[in-house]
A and B are shown apart, each in its own frame.
Chain A
Amino acid sequence: MGRKLLTEHINVEGIETFEVYRKHGGYRSVEKAIKTMTPDEVVEEVKKSGLRGRGGAGFPTGMKWSFLAKPEGVPRYLVCNADESEPGTFKDRQLMSKLPHLLIEGMITSSYALGANTSYIYIRGELLYVLRILEKAIAEAYAAGFLGKNILGSGYDLDLFVHPGGGAYICGEETALLESLEGKRGNPRNKPPFPAVQGLYARPTVVNNVESIAAVPVIVNDGGDEYAKIGVGRSTGTKLFSACGHLNKPGIYEIELGLPVEEFIYSDEYCGGIWKGRELKAVVAGGSSVPILPKELILKTAAGENRLMTYESLSDGGFVTGTMLGSGGFIAMDETTCIVRNTWNFSRFYHHESCGQCSPCREGTGWMEKVLHRLEHGHGHMEDIDLLVSVAKQIEGNTICPLGEAAAWPVAAAVRHFRHEFEWHVTHAKEAAQPGAVYRPSGVLV
């Protein structure tokens, strides 16, 4: 049984209230940090912990904090990115709705470390019910003196606001999020300047994911070194995975980083194997934007070792044999899944969500979607398969923000690992276009 650092008390009745949360050790990190530590000491603990951004990029959080410019007399901001909207990723909303005070505690401790007197939680507009939960919890924290003026008599002031976004995937990109938070259209900004130098209202800003911020109280309470003992190598601590797809027990699991993928899928403690006793076909390990891997490659690395749920092991072999840990959106697909249809579906999403600012993403996402639509509906040609790869390559790395890569990687990886399935859609166009048709090596339709 792995240790649960964030979700230990998630099933305690009433844990979403200040009173119960406090009884279970809540807000200890705020007291410890504000009363006994300097802001720099808190940053140092986070650095020692080796915590890496849980939103997808995996950048070391402590290092990100230390990049924050600190000019005299200029406000700094901490913004929590709660705009979780990647298909397959749904861990943050659970964390926020069940443990709102954990996030608020993390926000207070982190804001203290960064010297921010105003902080924001930017939440996806559709999550209105979570917004209400957070607002209620924030009001409780104000009433208890953990927010507002002169927190715990220390002289430190902090105001915390929750801001609902308009419900666009692009607003999860940190600079688009800041634009949206400023009341503008959520278009990503050109970088540099980076938010650490010029972020919200052109002031130094740190943007962190919900899960990253929720891990800060644990790190401050137990110490960075303790936290770093969990996990493998540079992948320290625990991580929430939202498992969905053809699994016996889909759900949100907090695991210690380093768990073998095979154990995660098949053990009863976690996903309990593939439903209806079917065979696993492929897995998208970190949300729909990361490259898909067939069963053989998701279970074993290129060297034939067990693939572990860590940043390094999942990306072992680059994008030829590896993928990414991403945001932890673990989508398992059984043998009845048509990869072409699935890829088209992902592609539809990215086409719909592209902001349209830069040419490769604006035009390329639509182009890929249309070609995939043709292939899926029996109007494809053999050269379309290479065309998809070529268009994906033209988008990848050439856009303002990473949405271009998010759109290109799933398509390129699907063709890389399942080219035969795309070819079958061309050579057996009529059969493939039937609803529910799936390629099988024997040629039998499901």
Chain B
Amino acid sequence: MAKITFDGIEVEVPDGTTILNAARQIGGSIVPPAMCYYTPLKGSGGKCRACLVRVAAGSAKDPRPMPKLVASCVTPVQDGMVVENTTNPQVLDVRKGIVEMLLINHPLDCPVCDQAGECDLQNFAFEHGVSTTRYQEERRTFEKIDIGPLIQLHMTRCILCYRCVYTADQIAKGDRIHGVLGRGDAAEIGTYIENIIDNDFSGNVIDVCPVGALTDKTFRFKSRVWFTKPVNAHRDCPKCSGNVVLWYKGNDVLRTTARKDQYGEVKEWICNECRFEKKETADWTIEGPAHIDRSSVISANHYELPVLNQSVVADLPESTQRDLQQNPPLKLGN
């Protein structure tokens, strides 16, 4: 076991744990953001640099600070390590820079993007970014690419986190035909000679994408996510665990996804049959509402309408009372 101090809070974790996962054991808002790291995906992390932290003391044996900021998602802890995250102005400054860099080639098309409300970059920019950009040059654009009949790739929105590449590599073993082409800012996610990803678990690339680059063709443009209601459900599936979240609008299942934890990470991959084909309530055993963090925008539309007391209405001017009767914006109680 190794004892580390993270933003002044002591935590003891097993040897080999990364700094990020040690911080996640403390939880709350001090946990560094992660755009490319994804626990179930081996080899992920270290690329987006969103989770950079300062190591003020390397270990009890060698308490010297590390010369550069380190990626907390790939750096293992050492006993006696002292880490600064939200308490270090340099870290916060760098994070602003990372947001600015990531937004260079990511369009701010949140109003039309299907990922709005579930977008890690949106959250990252909201918490760490600034409202302006200094970038004046032309931004790169791409045509949309159909990756088979079920998935669409908007390369314009891609931030090259490599999560989908690792997913395809590790889930669709031997079948992977998509990866990163080109280098530098000309790098792009592509399927060689526009082949499709043809694997029973290919749909998981949609779930791991932190932005709206890979979208579900059976769901696109059907609803904003905050107008849907997530419900946990399961079915007896021969290919996967069958544990999913159904996203309802009224009585219709608009979308099926794998279940994610508080950091947006999928623990159990689901198959394409569960994801794309089973869209009837009768296909599933319903467990109950899925937990959604109160701070998430997905919770936004789930408030009960407040009830206006009639005695309050009686005190209003007559013209207002008439308006309320004709166009009731709120429920009227007794």
Using a CB–CB cutoff of 8 Å, the interface residues on chain A facing chain B are: 168, 170, 185, 190, 192, 351-360, 362-367, 370-371, 374, 387, 390, 394, 397-400
A373 to B71: give the CA distance in the assembly, Å. Answer: 32
Which residue of A is nearest B186, CB measured? A356
Known: A367-B135, A370-B137, A398-B52. A190 touches B45 (CB 8 A): yes
A394 to B102: give the CA distance in the assembly, Å. Answer: 12
Known: A356-B160, A356-B180, A370-B137. A192 touches B75 (CB 8 A): yes
CB contacts (< 8 Å) of A387 on chain B: these are 134
Q: Which residue in B74, B104, B182 is a CB contact (below 8 Å) of A356?
A: B182
Q: List 30 A-B contacts (CB under 8 A).
A: A190-B45, A190-B71, A192-B76, A351-B184, A351-B185, A353-B183, A353-B184, A354-B183, A354-B185, A356-B184, A356-B187, A358-B49, A359-B47, A359-B101, A359-B102, A359-B160, A360-B49, A360-B97, A363-B101, A363-B102, A366-B184, A367-B104, A374-B137, A390-B134, A397-B68, A398-B52, A398-B97, A400-B46, A400-B47, A400-B71
- B164 beta carbon closer than 8 Å to chain A: no
A88 to B101: give the CA distance in the assembly, Å. Answer: 30
17 more A-B residue pairs beyond the given contacts A358-B47, A363-B102, A367-B101, with a C-beta to C-beta distance below 8 A: A190-B46, A192-B75, A351-B184, A354-B184, A356-B182, A356-B184, A356-B185, A357-B162, A359-B48, A362-B101, A363-B101, A366-B185, A367-B137, A370-B137, A394-B94, A394-B97, A398-B68
Is B49 touching A399 in the complex (CB atoms < 8 A)?
Answer: yes
- B92 beta carbon closer than 8 Å to chain A: no
CB contacts (< 8 Å) of A360 on chain B: these are 49, 97-98, 101
A374 to B135: give the CA distance in the assembly, Å. Answer: 13
A358 to B46: give the CA distance in the assembly, Å. Answer: 8
Known: A185-B180, A190-B74, A398-B69. A363 touches B185 (CB 8 A): yes
State which size class the interface on B falls in. Answer: 20 to 34
Q: Find residues 109-136 in chain B having any chain A CB closer than 8 Å to their own CB.
A: 134-135
Is A356 touching B183 in the complex (CB atoms < 8 A)?
Answer: yes
Using a CB–CB cutoff of 8 Å, the interface residues on chain B facing chain A are: 45-50, 52, 68-69, 71, 74-76, 94, 97-98, 100-102, 104-105, 134-135, 137, 159-160, 162, 180, 182-187
Which residue of A is nearest B71, CB measured? A190
A168 to B182: give the CA distance in the assembly, Å. Answer: 12
CB B138 to nearest CB in A, in angstroms, measures: 8
CB contacts (< 8 Å) of B184 on chain A: these are 351-356, 362, 365-366
CB contacts (< 8 Å) of A374 on chain B: these are 137
Is A397 touching B160 in the complex (CB atoms < 8 A)?
Answer: no
CB contacts (< 8 Å) of A355 on chain B: these are 183-184, 187
CB B321 to nearest CB in A, in angstroms, measures: 57
CB contacts (< 8 Å) of B182 on chain A: these are 356
